[in-house]
Chains A and B, each alone.
Chain A
Amino acid sequence: MQLTDRKKVVVKKEMSFMEKLYLPAILNGMSITIKHLFKRSSTIKYPEQKREIAEVYRGQHVLKRDENGAERCTACGLCAVACPAEAITMRSEERRQGEENLYREEKYAATYEINMLRCIFCGLCEEACPKEAIFLTDRIVPTEFKRNEFIYGKDKLVEPVGQPVDVTCRQTKEVLSFKKDKTKYHNQTFKDQQLLEGSQNH
């Protein structure tokens, strides 16, 4: 079956005398190489030197905490279902009594893993997240020597307490208004409300 009409017939023809010398070809090649020595380099010396990136650059993910330091993620699985590369896996667990300050909702992600080798940094997980928990940041995923080091668990993804990762430029107006709206607190029990009111009084 012929797919295109762009085929070329390969002809093995005898080389001429000049071609057999090889010298002109070598000189031609060398001239190109030497010419590039005097051109401006198109690469930079990373990591000493860093290229300027866009504000909304999509790099390594972060799992955010809320203003009280509780994890926002509730392991709803929407990021995993939205992920075109199937890079995200998680296992959920029920929050026990006394863990209210650790996890925002009744259910939380006991394990949450992103395979950075699979991830294509499309940002669909961020878009799917109903809890504004996952964001892509301007951090670049560092190189590793082993494949399993690219599977990022909660230890690498969740932001440390007290050191929030800045994602303000990735948060739209809608997101910010969502966060301010206290009626959007989900599945709140009496105890949660008391906790909330208590934290406001302090």
Chain B
Amino acid sequence: MAKVTIDDITIEVPDGTSILQAARMIDEQHGTHIAPPTMCYYSKLETSGGYCRTCIVSVTQGSEKDPRPMPKPVASCRTNVMDGMVVKNTTSPELLEARAGVVEFLLANHPLDCPICDQAGECHLQDLSYENGKEETRYEFNRRRFDPIDIGPYVKLHMNRCILCYRCVKVCDQLTDKRVHGVINRGDHSEISTYIEKAIDNDFSGNIIDVCPVGALTDRTFRFKSRVWYTNPVDAHRGCEKCSGKVRLWMKGDEVLRVTARKDQWGEAEQFICNTCRFDKKKTSDWTIEGPTKVNHHSVIAQNHDDLRKLQVGVKKQIHQLDGVKSELGKGPLDPNNI
């Protein structure tokens, strides 16, 4: 076990835990917001992380035995804790400045097409730049330009928006049976290669949409259907032999516009879902609706509050009708005090 202090909060974690995981543990225990943001790290994907540098933290004391600070900010997703380590994230102004620089670099080639992008509203890069970035870009050169490509019938690739986090590559690598290289060329010229198309037959290839932190990989069945904040998220499940069948439906009225995996508080899919659930089951009758997803009040998705409230009341009525039947429906967000 190692004792680590992050932003003046001490926690004891098992050896081999990364600083990022320790910070997330603190957040889960104390309800704080000290975990550094991540763009490429994904706890469900092995060897992810280490590319984007948004999770940098400054280590002011290396360990109990060697209390020297680390000379540069370190990537917290790839640095393991040591006993007696002292880490600064939100309490260090220099670090926040450095992170703003990282965000500026990430945005150097990212187009300002949020009004068009389907990801807007649930985009991690949007959140990141809003919370950590600067208002203006100093980049004067032309941004990289690619034409959008259809990867199979379900996924659209906008290489313009890609920040090369490698998450989709890891998904293709780890969820499909054959190894697929995803990125070709180097440096400024790197792009997600069409090799990724070979993984599209796999039943779990749709998860590249969920793991993409930006709008580079988007759902073609949802393309331009609606803005994210005009749809109501609902948790639902169905008996699926390929995956857990536990999904989030994005509904407009009685229509299911989109199916995604359920995301946890770090924006990561709780369980990967199969392509049948994601792309083929677009009827309300295909699903057993558990109840509306709890949406953070600060999220733009909560903008649609009136409809969401109506929906919640509607679902509550349904549950009252089911009263007496012991089901999972009565739990969680359906507590009348929450509505």
The chain A residues found within 8 Å of chain B, CB to CB, are: 74-78, 80-81, 92-94, 105-107, 130-131, 183-184, 186-191, 193
Report A-chain residues with C-beta under 8 Å of the C-beta of B146.
189
Q: Which of A107, A131, A190 touches B224 (beta carbons < 8 Å)?
A: A107
Expressed in whole angstroms, the minimum distance between the Cβ of B69 and any Cβ of chain A is: 40
Q: Name B residues whose Cβ lies closer than 8 Å to a Cβ of A.
A: 111-116, 120, 140, 142, 145-148, 160, 223-227, 229-230, 300, 303
CA gap between A183 and B115 in the complex, in Å: 16
Contact A189 B229 (CB under 8 A): no
Q: Considering the chains assembled together, what is the distance between the CA atoms of A81 and B224 in angstroms?
A: 16
Shortest CB–CB separation between residue A38 and chain B, in angstroms?
Answer: 54
Assembly CA distance A74 to B227 (angstroms): 12
CA distance A192 to B76 in the complex (A): 41
- How far apart sit A184 and B112, CA to CA, in the bound complex (Å)? 8
On chain A, the residues within 8 Å of B225 by CB distance are: 92
Question: Closest approach, in angstroms, between the C-beta of B180 and any C-beta of chain A?
Answer: 26
A-B contacts, 21 listed (Cβ < 8 Å): A75-B224, A76-B114, A77-B227, A77-B229, A81-B229, A92-B224, A92-B225, A92-B226, A94-B223, A94-B224, A106-B116, A107-B116, A183-B140, A183-B142, A186-B112, A187-B113, A188-B111, A189-B145, A189-B146, A189-B147, A193-B145
A186:B113 contact, CB within 8 angstroms: yes
Given contacts A77-B229, A105-B113, 20 further A-B contacts (CB under 8 A): A74-B115, A74-B116, A77-B230, A78-B115, A81-B227, A81-B300, A92-B224, A92-B225, A92-B226, A107-B116, A130-B115, A131-B115, A183-B140, A183-B142, A184-B112, A186-B113, A187-B113, A189-B145, A190-B145, A193-B145
Q: B111 and A186: CB pair below 8 A?
A: yes
Q: How far is the CA of A173 from the CA of B190 in the complex (A)?
A: 38
Contact of A130 among B114, B140, B160 (CB under 8 A): B114
* Interfacial chain B residues near A187, Cβ < 8 Å: 111, 113, 116, 160
Cα of A78 to Cα of B116 in the assembled complex, Å:
11
Give bound CA distance, A190 to B145, whole Å.
7
Across the interface, which residues of A come within 8 angstroms of B145, CB to CB? 188-190, 193
* B41 to A: closest C-beta gap in Å: 28
CA distance A108 to B9 in the complex (A): 49
Contact of B227 among A76, A186, A188, A191 (CB under 8 A): A76
Residues from chain B with Cβ under 8 Å of A184 in the complex:
112
